[in-house]
Structure 1
Amino acid sequence: MILDYPTTTQEEVEKVNEELDGRNALDIVKWGYETYGDDLVYACSLGAEGMVLLDLINRVKPGARVVFLDTDFHFKQTYDLLKKVREHFPDLSIESIKPELSVKEQSEQYGDKLWETAPDKCCALRKLEPLEKELSKHKAWMSGLRREQSPTRKNTQFVNIDNRFQSIKIAPLIHWTWDEVWEHIKENNLPYNILHDQNFPSIGCFHCTSAVLDGQDSRSGRWSGSGKTECGLHKE
């Protein structure tokens, strides 16, 4: 069954998830490309989960299209990793996509430090709008969401209706733990962001990302102290 949002019903999605119940992450990646082929794109943030998914995708579909959202505000370590990832997975088509506004243009139109004065607007300009433009070219997209990451992600299924982007969102890693992610990275000698070694489990723009304390969930270092927990990519 090919699910084609917005015509797809919740009942159809639930049926597909019942059929996929008990499958492992590699099976879900295979199902995604068997179902959607080139109409499936992976939006990779280069987090630890991203390294796992890149490895699984490379096994299933060399040449698959991967997009990285370059907000212009990433850590240097993230840009260094992007270079390493392209070298490690030469068969994958990894493309950087950027916002329409440059940093200077955004500052001129909305003022300096928009990430402080209106963080949701900053995320919309530098993440949501460019990804929306990209996803409009595809029927489905893949994400590295895991249920244990935060309370807002605990109900994520393998296959989801994405109302925000009018698409089908596939999340192969929903059942993985943080330890399992790192076991896979180390066993397969995959590159990763060295900030992970400095208590940064979730890494976004440098203005809005900080290290986490022991016992905090992996998303607590994002927009710390603002009450904001998501950029909006995964809000329905």
Structure 2
Amino acid sequence: MLDKVKELNEKFKTASPQEVLEYFLKTYKGKIALSSSFGAEDQVLTDMILKQDKSAKIFTLDTGRLPYETYSVMDNTNLKYNIKVDVYFPDAKEVETLYKEQGINGFYESIENRKRCCFVRKIAPLQRALQGLNIWITGLRASQSITREAMHLVEYDENNKVIKLNPLLLWSEEDVWDYIKTHKVPYNKLHDHGYPSIGCAPCTRAIKEGKDIRSGRWWWENPEHKECGLHKK
């Protein structure tokens, strides 16, 4: 598998995101999906993907604690493209157990608690969503945080046993917003209010201009810990 990943990275090292998506959507049709949190990058990819394959699978993880604005852009996306994004929820019993173990906002108390919450609300539903797939498309960009600088266009996710595809890896934030404006792509209105990166409402806040774009996520933790586990190799 690692040889295959290396071969694909070499094959597409100068390709545009659209060229990359065209190859993978055709080659792995029915076995490929975009996971969307309805952030700016995911919205760009949604637009690119649906322009090539209207039937492509796009899914999201509804943690139960998303901001209203995220539901709003989900609705706007479904309406604009005439689709229904697949929604995966956490297991109700696991959420009930989580509340008994750490309370409603226990994730603020320790990294362990926060990661436990992320596992119940995100990672376990993701594992269900990825079942039967060969390719997992993400909106990750290398410049988003120090935890993502060493990523590649094509990677093998050992935890989920899928190839992870990052078509916007080398794009800048400016590239993302130029595309959104040019193609009139729906986006989360929290982006207009100082939220460059948006997750669950209790774990996301606005940042000051010029700050690291991920600094509003889990702001009480050190930068090297700021991943929920979805993208752990």
Give the alignment's TM-score, normalised by structure 1: 0.92
Q: Identify the residue that residue 62 of structure 1 maps to in structure 2.
A: 54
What does residue 101 of structure 1 align with?
92
Greater CA drift, 77-86 or 11-20: 11-20
> In percent, how many aligned pairs have the same letter?
33
For the residue of structure 2 that corresponds to 1:217, the secondary structure is coil
1:89 and 2:81 are equivalent in the alignment: yes
RMSD over equivalenced CA pairs, Å? 1.4
- The one-letter code sitting in structure 1 at the alignment partner of 2:3 is E
Distance 2:11 2:190 in 1: 38
Q: CA deviation at 1:104?
A: 4.7
User: Given that residues 71 and 126 in structure 1 are in contact (C-alpha distance below 8 angstroms), is that contact kept between their aligned partners in structure 2?
Assistant: yes
Number of residue pairs the alignment of both structures matches: 227
Whether the 8 Å CA contact 1:65–1:93 is kept in 2: the answer is: no
1:13 aligns with 2:8: no
Return the match for 1:49 from 34, 37, 41: 41
Aligned partner (choices 212, 224, 228) of residue 217 of structure 1? 212
SS in 2 for 1:172: coil
d(CA) in 2 for partners of 1:119, 1:86: 31
Shift of 1:41: 1.1
**Consecutive unaligned residues in structure 2, runs of 5 or more:** none
Q: Secondary structure, in 3 states, of the residue corresponding to 2:30?
A: helix
Specify the code of the residue in structure 2 equivalent to 1:100. Answer: D
Deviations 1:210-234 (A, max 9, x none): 1122222211110002223111111
**Ranges in structure 1 where 5+ consecutive residues have no aligned partner:** 1-7
The C-alpha deviation readout for 1:98-124, integer Å capped at 9, x for no partner, is 000265553135433232231000000
Q: Return the alpha-carbon distance in structure 2 between the equivalents of residues 213 and 113 of structure 1.
A: 25
Which residue of 70, 80, 84 maps to 2:72?
80
* Structure 2 residue aligned with 1:112: 104
Q: 1:166 aligns with which of 145, 161, 170?
A: 161
Runs of 4+ in structure 1 displaced over 3 angstroms? 102-106
